Amino acid sequence: MILKGSQRGGAKQLAHHLLKTEENEHVEVHEVRGFMSDDLHGALKEIHAISQGTRCKQFMFSLSLNPPQTENVPIEYFENALNDIEKEMKLEGQPRVVVFHEKEGRRHAHCVWSRINTEEMKAINLPYYKYKLRDISKQLYFQHGWQMPRGLMDSKERNPQNFTLSEWQQAKRLNEDPKILKTTFQECWAISDSGKAFTHALKERGFYLAKGDRRGFVVVDFQGEVFSLNRWIGVKNKELKNRLGDPKSLPSTDMVKKEIAKNMTQILELHIKEVHEKLKKQKEPLLQRKRALKKHHQQHRMALKEKQEKRWEKETIERSRRLPKGLKGIWHRITGKYQKIRSQNESEMKQCQVRDREEKQVLINRQLKERQNLQGQIRHITQEHKLEISSLRQDISRYIEIGGRVSLEEKSRDLKREFEKTHEPSR
């Protein structure tokens, strides 16, 4: 289970983010503990209000728990993990909220604790929490027999295709997979031993090396989008300069953009738009099924919830009727029968709680399986789209290279004609 935590403020923004249904197919507030309010917005407002009595700006500890993609994880696993984390972080007894999200057939959880110790009116210190979370994460993989990601085994073996928020958003604006972009840049770097070779490798893939305004080396794509080279390939500026030379010798981004605009043809732009439109049409029936499935799943969960609540109310009444009242009740207390009935009721209540939770988990597992099957179809279509886009990039590079050669040939012919005119023999 991958654990990512952060100390933060912004209670209102966090509450809004956790309840977002635009990006998540199911959102469930699982627990609100230690607050006067019984809803998420109210709970986080309370944390913020209490923090006003301190100097603490990052008054919350926010955590996400992401189990392996291939596993259907019951609620108990999340709860046990949260309790272990709470103990390790010295946050036991602190007010907290737990929210479950489901998206694309995967389920994950978020937990937010208050860092403010109300008795001392101080923020609880969380030293080395990232290392602690990493150790707990490892333990969870061992405990449940899950295959551990390479990145957790050794920090040197981390997947290089991890993206910052800005990288991800930038790539999403292009309707392309950031993994393809990042891998392309890294492959070009790996096979090049000089600036000339690197420039050539980029050009073969439809990218151009340029001098950035403030960022040193940058790469410009056919749409004029600029990528900071050291950030996307994970290499420091010093190493870039050693291999590529002085960035001042490169054309500016404006010059490169003008060159691209000059050589880019409308046909290729239309081709790329056509691929995106084709993907949109192919995905639309699947997205309709996704929306229908979401509604269907929500209805089933609500029906189960109502059924369990009615059954719980009925069973509670039945257990209550077993307890004698009046003189008979007093007599049963004296003889000890009252306590036996009460113990029986408590035992049955716990069994009913376990039964209800298991019923809910069975429904969730079935729905996750249905959603994962649909996501597999969406993923297949999207992968084909990515391959088409990659192929078009190579076409773009070839057309731009052809345009460059044509310009040189025309210039050569013009020079030849000019030479012939000036050296024409007199009659």
Q: What is the pLDDT of residues 382-408, one digit of tens each?
A: 888 888 877 777 766 765 664 455 455
- What are the structure tokens assigned to 336, written together? 């000890």
Locus of tokens 């209670």: 11
Q: Where is pLDDT greater, at 162 or 81?
A: 81
Of the listed ranges 72-76, 183-187, 221-225, 249-253, the least confidently predicted one is 221-225
* CA-based R_g, the chain, Å: 31
Asked if residue 359 has pLDDT above 90, the reply is yes
Query: Which of the four pLDDT bands, split at 50, 70 and 90, describes residue 175?
Result: very low
* DSSP H helices in 159-265: 165-173, 178-190, 195-204, 229-233, 237-244, 253-263
Query: Which of the four pLDDT bands, split at 50, 70 and 90, describes residue 255?
Result: confident
pLDDT of residue 308: 93
Asked if residue 339 has pLDDT above 70, the reply is yes
Where in 55-95 does DSSP place strands (E)? 60-66
Query: Which of the four pLDDT bands, split at 50, 70 and 90, describes residue 5?
Result: very high
pLDDT of residue 265: 59
pLDDT of residue 155: 44
39, burial (CB in 10 Å: exposed 0-12, middle 13-18, buried 19+)? middle
- Segment 208-245, tens digit of pLDDT: 999 987 768 999 887 678 898 888 888 888 889 899 98
pLDDT of residue 38: 92
Query: Which of the four pLDDT bands, split at 50, 70 and 90, describes residue 257?
Result: confident
Q: For the chain, what percent of residues have pLDDT higher than 70?
A: 81
Where in 231-327 does DSSP place strands (E)? none
In this structure, which amino acid lies at residue 374? L
- What are the structure tokens assigned to 5, written together? 């935590």
Of the listed ranges 43-47, 95-99, 179-183, 403-407, the least confidently predicted one is 403-407
The string over 293-315, giving b where at least 16 C-beta atoms fall within 10 Å of a residue's C-beta and e elsewhere, is bbeebeeebeebeeebeeeeeee
pLDDT of residue 165: 46
Between CA 398 and CA 417 the distance in angstroms is: 29
- Segment 266-306, tens digit of pLDDT: 666 677 777 888 888 888 999 999 999 999 999 999 999 99
Q: In whole numbers, what is the pLDDT of the chain averaged over residues?
A: 83
Q: Is 405 helix (H, G, I), strand (E, B) or coil?
A: helix
Question: The pTM is what?
Answer: 0.58
Phi, psi of 335 (to 5 degrees): -85, -10
Q: Where is pLDDT greater, at 411 or 91?
A: 91
